[in-house]
Structure 1
């Protein structure tokens, strides 16, 4: 018999989960876990709440709570919902827990040692009235591609194009609504995905047991070309960016890792 690890997609912390979430990722994983247990395999079925990022901060502010209290409450609500649905999780963790923090900082350190992370100076939106840099989703405006009003600083939900906050027309702070914005310099870490494109392509080519659709989707992204992506944000809630000694990284004090960097690592953190 085998030892089998099964994970379902991590539900985001804000909003009550519904039948679509259940049917889309949680129920299929649960059925597979039960099936493999029934065959006598040693199964570990893992899930967790994905708690960092701009939406969590905004939802907490709208609820009149600090973000930690908000996430504590929402985690318990989502955990209870899973239990009510009868999902057979062996562990339902949190991306804000210590294992994910430690592992995220570890992965960032190893990537930098291998020359796959580097610091860059970005020109980012600063809200004078809010007295802070605004991460991508804290900035809204008009999409420069399709003209949609209310596009976010990371993506337009109308046309699907990826954006930078400085791309938006007539931008404003989603925190306060202020249009008193400036573009200022700020330092961030970038994951050098352009260096990883060929190694990833070669690795995918070795996967003879992958479904054709999975490979085609992976190759599509590679064919379109990977770009270097910022993996840190000017937020208060998240995994802190640290230096080699484990203390604040000089010039990047107060910054945290981007949720799309730390959330996938939580699959490992929750399993640990």
Structure 2
């Protein structure tokens, strides 16, 4: 079954959707969209360093994404507005990463594949990495679900319940770094934030509880991956962006549904 490249691509897209759904819900609740974008942009620098040091691209992307997330956390609240800080760090990391790639001699690299994804070229090894990373993210979020919800709702309430919000932010940061690393192959660094945010935002009008929002977001993300791949195959369009376009259409549909319910 895995000899079919479309099957491998679909499994990769579903794996990324399952990892991004619960994490994307927290990104939406905490208004961390720019944070996710900055972490994703930093991953391209991790890719360049990994290729230069002849280590795993996945390990390099995780390390740099985690370093970016920790840097943002450390510098926040020190005289700069958060959106300014994230903008500076995100675009600087992306620029340094692209420049670093140009200095790599003897290494052939398709930058477009890392920027916009190359889901149709996913191998069996890539599938193993994607699903292992997705399982780890789901396990982390599931393990800390209640504490993460409490810390998201109110930090003072979290302290009163014996929960350290900084520790919960670290769990989210680690999960975000892993998700970014596994999603590079599927949608690329420029579209990772979209796969985090759009399915979760589309699921919000359909949800009554936090748990249902995460589950519905996973369903929307998985459906977007499969339908986007089919559309890319039929219309000969880029696969990664096609997946995001389908997710965007689902967001538009659920937004219209919410507006209709409000007006009824």
Q: Same fold (TM over 0.5)?
A: no
After TM superposition, the score normalised by the length of structure 1 is 0.24
Q: Which has the higher helix share?
A: 2
Query: Which gives a bigger RCO, structure 1 or 2 (Cα 8 Å, sep 6+)?
Result: 2
Q: TM-score, normalised by structure 2?
A: 0.25
Give the structure with higher Rg (CA): 1
